[in-house]
Amino acid sequence: MLLLSIGACYISPAKYWFFQFFGLFFQIIFILNIFVLIFWTLKKSKIAYIHFVVLIAGILYTGRFFQFSGNKAEGETIKIISYNTHSFENINNGNHAYTEIADFLLAENADIICLQEYIMTDRTLKTNASWQKISEIYKYTSENHSGEKIFSKFPLANNEKPKNRGQYMTFANININNKTLRIYSCHLQSTNFNPDNTQKKLLKTDSYKRELKRIVVNLRNAFVKRAKQADFIAQSLSKSPYPAIICGDFNDTPMSYTYQKIRGNKKDTFIEAGSGIPNTYKKLMSFLRIDYIFTDRDIDVAEYRVAKEINCSDHYPIVVKLKIE
């Protein structure tokens, strides 16, 4: 099972989707293998060697989930935020959270903001005082029609739009200190199920089988769609003439084809400068990290944190500081 969860990173769900289910539970499977290793070691069985070898392979991936403290670059930095706003709906009371989210962004005073599920009417944008301030500060923007948006204090440089952005990403070429970078804001396919309703149905004897089947079908379809989206983003990255920074809600764990394909040889900012066990998604398992910021290899990461002080969306914002020569 541990080997299958590692395979989830490299085998496209479009071909063999069931690998992704094992990737979802990598941490649990890894811990179970430790207990099994201890058991067979106490029994003085040669089977322990098998678990030891497989665990060595698994250790190479544990840094995606846990870090003591990453190396932090010093010097002048820029701050970037990536945040799925949940269409500005406050999950705690059902009200709109336009002002709360805008005030958080203003307080952070980042240089670049990448938002997902940015669903806002022009009227709200013009009448909300906090968003008016954001419009004044962040004069350069790029967006698509499905809710992915980039705000920048830096001017856009030679900005070009992809021929097919789909419904899940936008990018902008941004001039930072005489250096052009390509910034992506992405929101990949969701699994589309409500955790609270799902839990209730699973506890009922007359509906749990039907609900289990629905969950499996939804997950399978989402795995396949995200794989195709990840392939497209990776292709776009390979054609970029500029160093890239990729931000977004991937709706997938670090042990997934989506994560591996988009990250490629880029840096995961959590691995570089994070600490602890980060969770960027509030519902379901409290240790899920499905929001990411990746950078090119020549960009140093000075700081990484998950901003849990704002509690409106079902996601937490990621805040990073990058050193760009």
Tell me what the mean pLDDT of segment 233-261 comes to.
96
Whether residue 72 is contained in a domain is answered as: no
For residues 251, 254, 257 and 260, what is the CA-based torsion angle, rounded to 10 degrees? 120
Q: Which of 40-44, 66-70, 256-260 has the lowest mean pLDDT?
A: 66-70
What SS3 class is residue 301? strand
In terms of domains, do 139 and 48 share one? no
Q: What is the mean pLDDT of the chain?
A: 90
> Who has greater pLDDT, 129 or 286?
129
Burial category of 59 from C-beta neighbours within 10 Å (exposed 0-12, middle 13-18, buried 19 and up)? exposed
User: 297: helix, coil or strand?
Assistant: coil
Q: Which residues contact 209 (CB under 8 A, 6 or more apart)?
A: none
* Lowest-confidence pick of 139-143, 166-170, 279-283: 166-170
- The radius of gyration of the chain's CA atoms, rounded to the nearest angstrom, is 21
Note whether 119 and 166 are same-domain residues: yes
309, 281: one domain: yes
Q: Are strands 291-295 and 244-249 parallel, antiparallel or unpaired?
A: antiparallel
Same-domain check for residues 224 and 160: yes
33 lies in the same domain as 146: no
What is the reported pLDDT for 164?
A: 45
Is residue 269 situated within a structural domain?
A: yes
Q: Which amino acid type is present at position 60?
A: L
**Are 109 and 164 in the same domain?**
yes
Query: Is position 70 within any domain?
Result: no
Confidence of residue 215 (pLDDT cuts 50, 70, 90): confident
Question: What's the number of domains the chain is made of?
Answer: 2
* CB distance 267 to 298 below 8 Å: no
- Mean pLDDT on 145-172: 77
Q: Are residues 227 and 103 in the same domain?
A: yes
Helix%, strand%, coil% for the chain, nearest 5: 40, 20, 40
Residues 301-319: what's their mean pLDDT? 95
- 241 shares its domain with 319: yes
**179 three-state secondary structure:** strand
Number of Cβ within 10 Å of residue 274's Cβ equals: 24
Percentage, residues of the chain above pLDDT 90: 73
Whether residue 92 is found in the same domain as residue 217: yes
Whether 293 and 82 have beta carbons less than 8 Å apart is answered as yes
Task: Tell me which residue range forms the domain holding 26.
Answer: 2-62
Q: What pTM does this model have?
A: 0.92
- Note whether 29 and 88 are same-domain residues: no
Domain-embedded: residue 29: yes
Cα–Cα distance, 8 to 227 (Å, whole number): 11
- Domain CATH number, residue 249: 3.60.10.10
Q: Is 320 exposed, middle or buried (0-12, 13-18, 19+ CB in 10 A)?
A: buried
Q: How far apart are CA 6 and CA 24, in angstroms?
A: 10
Looking at per-residue pLDDT, the higher value among 312 and 122 belongs to 312
List, in sequence order, the alpha helices (H) in 181-311: 195-202, 208-239, 257-263, 269-273
Nearest to 140 by CA among 115, 106, 180, 112: 112
- CA angle, 184 then 186 then 187, to 5°: 170
Within-domain flag for 67: no
133 close to 106: Cβ distance less than 8 angstroms: yes
100 and 176 share one domain:
yes
Give tens-digit pLDDT for 102-139.
999 999 999 999 999 999 888 888 899 999 999 999 99
Q: How confident is the model over 293-315, as a mean pLDDT?
A: 94
Evaluate if residue 177 carries a pLDDT over 90.
Answer: no
Q: Could you tell me whether strands 140-143 and 149-152 are parallel, antiparallel, or unpaired per DSSP bridges?
A: antiparallel
Q: What is the pLDDT of residue 162?
A: 47
243 and 128 within one domain: yes
Q: What is the largest CA-CA distance in the chain?
A: 72
CB 82 within 8 A of CB 185: yes
Of the given ranges (17-21, 69-73, 198-202, 213-217), which has the lowest mean pLDDT?
198-202
The answer as to whether 71 is a domain residue is no
Q: Residue 166 pLDDT more than 70?
A: no
